[in-house]
Structure 1
Amino acid sequence: MDYELLCTKVIAITRLTGNFIRKESLNFDDKSIEFKGLNDLVSYVDKNAEKLLVDNLSKLIPEAGFTTEEETINTKGEVYNWIIDPLDGTTNFIHGIPTYSISIALYEDEQPVIGVVYEINRGEMFYTYKGGKAYLNHKEIRVSSRPSLSACLLATGFPYYQFEKQKQYMQLFSEMMQKCHGLRRIGSAAVDLAYVACGRFDAYFEYNLNAWDVAAGAYLVQQAGGNIMNFDGGAEFIVKREILATNALIDEEVLEIIHRNFNTVL
């Protein structure tokens, strides 16, 4: 498998889909919003973008399976599987906040081999592939080199359902805010992870995420020299639905604060 060539084709498909989303954003009517659950929004833009991605990615590896957010298709491939989020940051999109992205990962034998995150409105294409580095618009990127939490800027997300853990999470925010330069909540997990990969953020943490939210961005962070783990420091961040991405220098500081304030099992 020529991963670099395949990644180039994925980028072209991603850019095409991004053009569709950008065009639809100009005349979007919020009457088309649907609710999948409490505060869990979807629109025809998400669904049509996903169909566009699936149709084109299927041509690259016909035997590959798909894990998709909008469930236009969900199949399991024996070797290859795409994990895609056609519009990560739907709430931002619906409210006219210009930070949302497309997230695409390819797994081979349950290991990532391609990761693409496209921040549509800034035209920033983050990508990586097996045997390569991590890149932003053809330039190599690396995680930050800040060695202490006191000099770092962190990203997170706020819970929008399962509020039984909200009090603990607010305690965690409170201590984090006192120990670092600040916390940011952009509204797209894929973008948060891409920003860790290129050194804009030094770490990112969140829980209750799905594979399509984090698969591509996590691979970007790893390929850029960072670490990806769950809140216990283990590798099962997708299964446990909690993720900590770091520049590999502040892991112990961040994990200590998480453990002191937040229990994943109540």
Structure 2
Amino acid sequence: MTGLRLSDLLEPVMQLAYEAGRLIESELNRPDGPRGSGFKADVDVEIEVLLRQRLKHILNCDFVGEETGCELSGHPFSWVVDPNDGAGDFLNRRPGSAISIGLLHNATPVLGVVYAPVTPSGPDCIAWAEGAPALLRNGRPVNNDLQSSILAPGTAVMVSYGGTQKAKQNALLCHPAIFHPMLSIAYRLGRVAAGDGVAAVSLYSVSPHDLVAGHALLRAVNGDIWNEKGESVRYASPKAFTRSLNFCFGGAQAACLELLGRPWHSLKDSGYVP
């Protein structure tokens, strides 16, 4: 690993994400809709097989995937991948699912690429690697810093697509910010890092493959992720790869900790669908 520059890995990982994104786009364009059922699309496995093979050519290290399992040897680096975050809504032909590719070094997120190939605003790729001069959005540098960001009028909190079912409650919980429903937690975190919001919320079980790439993007702009207890999310051991979180809040510290104190359980208690 001597001489490895993580920033040199970013471009090939982004190109790989674009290639995988074309598979998602093709699947959405099928006359009968995407293949699969429930929360699993057939293309999820196809993308992860591609990512697993090609990422290990970019950097041959451990691998954690949602679909094809873990390869953990104790290597200091590990790819952590969700091939199609938001697959349940994707199967209902909703745009906005995302490819999430993260890299851990000694349990710290040091590279993240989150690519949503089909959104109402067009393809969107948010990327960063430790040592890079800036966060990138669609290849262009982003100037954002979450260190002093707070919940305030004109800011946004990214919530899951299910937030559309409980608009009044979400509006109250996110006040004075507005709430913005989105499919993918990885993409929610990425958009917060890119400056579209101050916090992203997930009210259902998430695992490291959902978070690592977005967590790296937040690190680039002085953000972080907290669990439902207000503890900073960390990836301390291989065991952590199988440990899910009930809730998570990612973004600016002041905004997330304020949101943590609000009664989000009331949404689930009232039949909220994440």
Aligning the two structures, in what range does the TM-score lie when normalised by the shorter sequence? 0.7 to 0.9
TM-score by length of 2: 0.79
2:23 maps to 1:20: yes
- The equivalent residue for 1:149 is 152
Q: Identity of aligned pairs, percent?
A: 21
Q: Which one of the candidate residues 220, 224, 233 is aligned to 2:217?
A: 220
Deviation at 1:118, TM superposition (A): 0.5
- The equivalent residue for 1:257 is 262
2:209 maps to 1:204: no
2:56 maps to 1:53: no
Stretches of structure 2 that go unaligned for 5 or more consecutive residues are: 236-242, 269-274
- The equivalent residue for 2:189 is 193
Contact persistence 1:171–1:261 (CA under 8 A): no
* Matches of 1:42 and 1:262, distance apart in 2: 25
In structure 2, relative to structure 1, the CA distance for the partners of 1:155 and 1:109 (3 Å cut) is same
2:251 maps to 1:246: yes
2:137 maps to 1:136: yes
- The equivalent residue for 1:5 is 8
Deviation at 1:105, TM superposition (A): 0.3
Deviation at 1:261, TM superposition (A): 6.7
- The equivalent residue for 2:180 is 184
2:112 maps to 1:115: yes
* Matches of 1:23 and 1:174, distance apart in 2: 35
* Matches of 2:36 and 2:168, distance apart in 1: 33
Q: Secondary structure at the match of 1:149?
A: coil
Contact persistence 2:48–2:83 (CA under 8 A): yes
Deviation at 1:223, TM superposition (A): 0.8
CA RMSD of aligned residues (A): 2.9
* Matches of 2:22 and 2:193, distance apart in 1: 24
> Which moves more between the two structures, 82-91 or 247-256?
247-256
Stretches of structure 1 that go unaligned for 5 or more consecutive residues are: 36-40, 161-168
Deviations 1:206-231 (A, max 9, x none): 24111111111121112122232223
* Matches of 1:17 and 1:118, distance apart in 2: 9
Q: Secondary structure at the match of 1:205?
A: strand
* Matches of 1:252 and 1:188, distance apart in 2: 21
In structure 2, relative to structure 1, the CA distance for the partners of 1:260 and 1:149 (3 Å cut) is farther
Q: Which amino acid aligns with 1:183?
A: F
* Matches of 1:94 and 1:34, distance apart in 2: 7
Contact persistence 1:149–1:253 (CA under 8 A): no
* Matches of 2:108 and 2:81, distance apart in 1: 15
- The equivalent residue for 1:163 is none
Q: Where in structure 2 are the equivalents of 1:162-173 lying within 5 Å? A: 173=170
In structure 2, relative to structure 1, the CA distance for the partners of 1:55 and 1:182 (3 Å cut) is same
Deviation at 1:129, TM superposition (A): 0.6
> Which moves more between the two structures, 144-153 or 12-21?
144-153
Contact persistence 2:115–2:126 (CA under 8 A): yes
Give the length in aligned residue pairs: 247
Contact persistence 1:143–1:221 (CA under 8 A): no
- The equivalent residue for 1:76 is 72
Q: Secondary structure at the match of 2:50?
A: helix
